[in-house]
Amino acid sequence: MCRFGRPGCSLAWRTKTRYRLPFKLRLLSLSHWVAVRNHVRVVGRGSCAFGVAVVGLFNLGGCSDALRSSSGEEGRAERDGQGAAARSDEESPGDSPGAEESSGDGSDSDSTSGPQSGAGDSPGSEGASGQGASDACAAELFGSTSAPLRRLTSAEYRNTVSSLFAGVELPEVELLADDRVGGFLNSAAGQPGSPVAVERYFAAATVIADSAAVSVDAWAPCTAETAACLSDIALQVGFKSYRRPLSEEESARLEAFAEEAFLSNGFDDGVRMVIEVLLESPYFLYRPEFGGETAVGDAVALSDYEMASRLSYFFLEDMPDQRLFDAAAAGELVDEAGVRTQAERLMNQARARGVLSGFMGEWVRAYQLDTVDLDWETFPDFDEAMRADMRASVEMYVDHALWEADSWQWLMASTQGFVNDRLAPIFGVEPPGSDELVLVDLDPAERRGLLTQPGVLTSTSHGIGHSPIMRGVTMLSNVLCSPVPAPPPGILDNIDEEMSSDDDDVCTTRDYVSLTHTVGADCQGCHAAIDGAGFVFENYDALGRYRTEENGCAVDATGSFPTSDFGPEVNDAIELSEALANSPQVATCLSEHLFRYSLGRGTSRADACELQALGEQLGSGDSLQELILELVTTPSFRSRPGRN
């Protein structure tokens, strides 16, 4: 069985590719080959299908038309560089004007119908990320936006039970993996119910209860083996696990259960039973929000305890701590000042720093680095140690940007990076003499900002090369929040057989990709945007090493960004990074991703005003921490739709 990173696995790809395709085709990544191999093998020639396929943007729709409308009336298609929404005849851009929400970058998921799949008047098309946002301001806060019920993610579940039973060594529990929707693992759309999910929750509750019951002295309010003590335990764990005070009915019911459990099974098993039912309760597994009594327009303010959970799971991926519970009990979380106070406190906790730094990495899809599969012969240095270092380097970079520099400018345009001896040749700097990653100055002519970090650049590589197309898609969908057009129907069946991959003018990857995409008019429309955004990183190879030549030919790293608020022409990634740091569109795009991450849902037209305000705040104030604080005090974060 081929495993990622194992030599044999990569060799297989290399062998196959060399066997079937001429040398110049090897310039393309192997994923190109995978997606189109059946077509290529038919005609023996390349075509725009290469590019189209690797992007994986196969919602049906007009390629050229979509591009022309990228800043306007056409909806945003679901897509993702690694794996976009699957083809669905019902989901072509522009076909679903009724669909209100969008998950943003199209995500790694969601081929089914539903709000996440919608195109229509999503902010991406309407301009919530910068263009025309003010025109899209809705009279009401939510409009038709839904706020779907969220289940605890696997990480949130584990953290919460650890907090519930602090001091107990709990067993590893195996829960169903969360789907990544809209780029994030905490989206409600990525939490389908299933028999297996229920079975896992049952099994997890059982083993956790077993462990916690033998260590009651570590976490329980009492240890006397009496019915009264068991009731006290039930009420306390009930409060914490539901993350709110129990109603009188709930308290009575739980006390009755505890009493029966004690009488029938004794104290120890009674504790187990209490824990089992509480951990299987939907009030524990889900985060139902009904709101308090304050309603403004179509919005209902969250209750204090609901607000405590929103803050806690956003910052810590965990249940509220005692101070949050206290603040909720004191009624301090219904006003903006109280929320901000708690947010500032939580944000300074080490765990919150890790969570939010993780978000920044997710924003540029650094998680893809975990599954990058590079040919071992072509890249013999790219082993698991280097993969881990690259990932850590990116994490430390965003961590520094958030918590040390606290600067949007630094994040997007810094000329520093975290380097150790292993990564030094990749960064093109002298080894710092350390296995640990340390902050060093980089050559400002070669590297600037988050997007030029080797870990980010490598995350879109595969096989024997880099992918300008994947890089372009990430740029458009995640950094610019600009619609990436979908290919037209039947594009793969309309391969131009006249284009030869042995063209003498083809030397660099850019040459080949350009050639394939200019042959067919259908391809040209889409890829003018995608490739233009990806070519700007041509100074970096698949591992993110700076270069000026490829295959002996000079690299052309000029890029074009016709749908951005800068450019449209950019000379290279250095110039691009400086432009990004000063782009309101990019600042708003980051805000939109953070907004979706915080709420576990897509965005809609109704969110445009808040998103634009957040983007403007970030652009003018430069503080990333302030952006986060502003976000959690927005009406959207503090309320829910009034309709149920």
Of 456-485, which residues contact other proteins (CB under 8 A)?
Answer: 462
Q: Which is nearer to other proteins, 253 or 340 (CB)?
A: 253
- Neighbour count for residue 247 (Cβ, 10 Å): 10
Residues 109-128 that bind other proteins (CB under 8 A): 109-112
13 contributes a contact to other proteins by CB under 8 A:
yes
Q: Rounded to the nearest whole angstrom, what is the least distance from the CB of residue 520 to other proteins in the complex?
A: 16
Binding mask 535-574 for other proteins (x = CB under 8 A): ----------------------------------------
Name which position in 74, 126, 156, 276 contacts other proteins (CB under 8 A). Answer: 276
Cα 570 versus chain centre, distance: 27
Q: Which residue has the tokens 């196959």?
A: 16
34 contributes a contact to other proteins by CB under 8 A:
yes
Q: Which span sits near other proteins by CB under 8 A: 134-142, 144-152, 413-421, 613-621?
A: 144-152
Q: Which span sits near other proteins by CB under 8 A: 32-40, 214-222, 327-335, 432-440?
A: 32-40
Q: Are 335 and 180 in contact (CB under 8 A)?
A: no
6 contributes a contact to other proteins by CB under 8 A:
yes
Q: Are 228 and 290 in contact (CB under 8 A)?
A: no
Q: Which span sits near other proteins by CB under 8 A: 86-94, 215-223, 296-304, 328-336?
A: 86-94
Q: Which span sits near other proteins by CB under 8 A: 2-10, 218-226, 304-312, 559-567?
A: 2-10
Q: Which is nearer to other proteins, 253 or 353 (CB)?
A: 253
The CA distance from 641 to 103, in Å, is 18
58 contributes a contact to other proteins by CB under 8 A:
yes
Helices 322-329 and 336-347 pack at an angle, to 10 degrees, of 170
Name which position in 165, 257, 418, 537 contacts other proteins (CB under 8 A). Answer: 257
The CA distance from 295 to 244, in Å, is 20
- Apex CA 530: angle with CA 619 and CA 35, to 5°? 135
The DSSP line for 423-451 is THHHHTS---S-SS-EEEE--TTT--SGG
Helix (H, G, I), strand (E, B) or coil at 36: helix
Name which position in 64, 162, 281, 341 contacts other proteins (CB under 8 A). Answer: 281
Q: Which span sits near other proteins by CB under 8 A: 78-86, 301-309, 560-568, 583-591?
A: 78-86
Q: Rounded to the nearest whole angstrom, what is the least distance from the CB of residue 174 to other proteins in the complex?
A: 7
Q: Which residue(s) pair with 418 in the sheet?
A: 439
Q: What's the one-letter identity of residue 547?
A: R
Q: Which span sits near other proteins by CB under 8 A: 80-88, 222-230, 396-404, 406-414?
A: 80-88
499 contributes a contact to other proteins by CB under 8 A:
no
Q: Which is nearer to other proteins, 197 or 528 (CB)?
A: 197
Q: How many residues bind other proteins (CB under 8 A)?
A: 79
68 contributes a contact to other proteins by CB under 8 A:
no
Q: Rounded to the nearest whole angstrom, what is the least distance from the CB of residue 289 to other proteins in the complex?
A: 10
The CA distance from 398 to 582, in Å, is 18
Binding mask 415-454 for other proteins (x = CB under 8 A): ----------------------------------------
Q: Which is nearer to other proteins, 77 or 419 (CB)?
A: 77
- Neighbour count for residue 441 (Cβ, 10 Å): 12
227 contributes a contact to other proteins by CB under 8 A:
no
Binding mask 349-388 for other proteins (x = CB under 8 A): ----------------------x-x---------------
Q: Are 356 and 316 in contact (CB under 8 A)?
A: no
Q: Rounded to the nearest whole angstrom, what is the least distance from the CB of residue 58 to other proteins in the complex?
A: 3
38 contributes a contact to other proteins by CB under 8 A:
yes
Q: Which residue(s) pair with 295 in the sheet?
A: 300
267 contributes a contact to other proteins by CB under 8 A:
no
The CA distance from 459 to 370, in Å, is 8
Residues 163-202 that bind other proteins (CB under 8 A): 174, 176-177, 179-180, 190, 192-199, 202
84 contributes a contact to other proteins by CB under 8 A:
yes
Q: Where are the alpha helices (DSSP H) in 383-520?
A: 384-399, 408-413, 424-427, 454-458, 468-474, 509-519
Q: Please, is 613 exposed, middle or buried when counting C-beta atoms within 10 Å of its C-beta (0-12, 13-18, 19+)? A: middle
Q: Where are the alpha helices (DSSP H) in 330-373?
A: 336-347, 350-363
The CA distance from 240 to 234, in Å, is 10
The DSSP line for 74-125 is SPPPP--SSS-PPP-TT--TTS-TT---B-SS--S---SSSGGG--TT-HHH
The CA distance from 75 to 9, in Å, is 39
Nearest to 254 by CA among 231, 222, 226: 231
Name which position in 31, 458, 459, 514 contacts other proteins (CB under 8 A). Answer: 31
Q: Which span sits near other proteins by CB under 8 A: 145-153, 385-393, 395-403, 610-618?
A: 145-153
Name which position in 21, 28, 48, 54 contacts other proteins (CB under 8 A). Answer: 54
- Apex CA 76: angle with CA 70 and CA 77, to 5°? 120
- Apex CA 586: angle with CA 581 and CA 592, to 5°? 135
For 420, which DSSP code? -
